[in-house]
Structure 1
């Protein structure tokens, strides 16, 4: 599968990821041979990230930006624009995006968070930490939030939320599984709908 081929006339998307890349792979597969969206690039900040192998297996180019390179966010934005990237999807990307970079892609950076913001968000709230906190707080519901990105963690405008119930016998592990199912089902669809809405304005 080469998601980056034959996409010259499509809307270019870069997917940022820091870890294993299950959401990133889901995005790549969903938009493979899509009629107007093309995943042009995977961006990682960790050279050992599992997402790199996933992307290479699916034929999508990978670019790793180091902490030193992120000191010059406008240069990174310029690199992405030179690759015809118009939208950015954060799929488990743990680095805070600099304000200078956000300005270059204003309203075009989308993140997914595995909880119902504004609760259980902010620095350090990622992965199993979130589901453990939800469990410890004895919540009866959890879910996903898809939102635009600003200069703070998990603080941008919410564009979509989906709720799932937490049962008495649920554990942090089963809560995580429920949330992952929501991510897999809804994240690509919401990205698609958001991009379609923006480009039609």
Structure 2
């Protein structure tokens, strides 16, 4: 059985989807949720789904504390599911090619610091892109620059606003993110 640790900062819909997907798996399971926001909905979801959670501060993240807690769960894969903080170099070094992230655009478009959630969707809408999508990529020392594992696209209408784009992206995330996580685990 392979161990997955999910990092999330927000409501946790992607985290819950991954937890539920692997609850039926004979090959992997989510063993913990790590969160850096004390009021994040993901903490309630994790508790309801009987998955241990680890809450940490921004200051803790910059010390060896989070890395030590993470090592205790012996993760085969660390999955960032709406996690907004940059991963420290010591964690990346401890888990080379074992940390993946989902980004709500077709990288390299709309990546980088500050490009998350509605910021991305507004930029896509303003540029009237004919399509957008999700990118799952390995995490390195730079925002959204790790090797791309998978991308899934959706067509846009010229009148689509950021909210409609967000809904389309959410459907892609829910459908494909757990499958990509499983594929990465199978290749290990």
Check the 8 A contact 2:67/2:90 in 1, yes or no: no
Partner of 1:114: 104
Please give the alpha-carbon distance, in whole angstroms, between the structure 1 residues aligned to 2:179 and 2:141.
Answer: 25
Please give the alpha-carbon distance, in whole angstroms, between the structure 2 residues aligned to 1:115 and 1:153.
Answer: 13
Partner of 2:28: 37
- The answer to whether structure 1 residue 23 and structure 2 residue 14 are counterparts is yes
Following superposition, the deviation at residue 168 of structure 1 comes to 2.5
Aligned mate of 1:52, from 43, 48, 51: 43
Please give the alpha-carbon distance, in whole angstroms, between the structure 1 residues aligned to 2:48 and 2:158.
Answer: 40
Which stretch of the first structure deviates more once superposed, 81-90 or 97-106?
Answer: 81-90
The number of aligned residues is 188
Task: Name the SS for the 2:25 alignment partner.
Answer: coil
Following superposition, the deviation at residue 99 of structure 1 comes to 1.1
Partner of 1:84: 74
Partner of 1:197: 187
Task: Show structure 1 runs of 5+ residues with no match.
Answer: 1-9
Task: Name the SS for the 2:164 alignment partner.
Answer: helix
Please give the alpha-carbon distance, in whole angstroms, between the structure 1 residues aligned to 2:158 and 2:73.
Answer: 49
Q: Deviations over 1:159-188 (max 9, x none)?
A: 000111111232111111111100000000
Check the 8 A contact 2:13/2:42 in 1, yes or no: yes
Following superposition, the deviation at residue 77 of structure 1 comes to 2.2
Which stretch of the first structure deviates more once superposed, 169-178 or 79-88?
Answer: 79-88
Partner of 2:4: 13
Check the 8 A contact 2:9/2:35 in 1, yes or no: yes
Aligned mate of 1:130, from 104, 117, 120: 120
Partner of 1:152: 142
Runs of 4+ in 1 over 6 A off after TM superposition: none
- The answer to whether structure 1 residue 185 and structure 2 residue 175 are counterparts is yes
Q: Deviations over 1:131-172 (max 9, x none)?
A: 000000111110000000001111100000011111123211
TM score, norm. by length of structure 1? 0.91
Q: How much is the aligned-residue C-alpha RMSD, in angstroms? A: 1.0
Partner of 2:157: 167
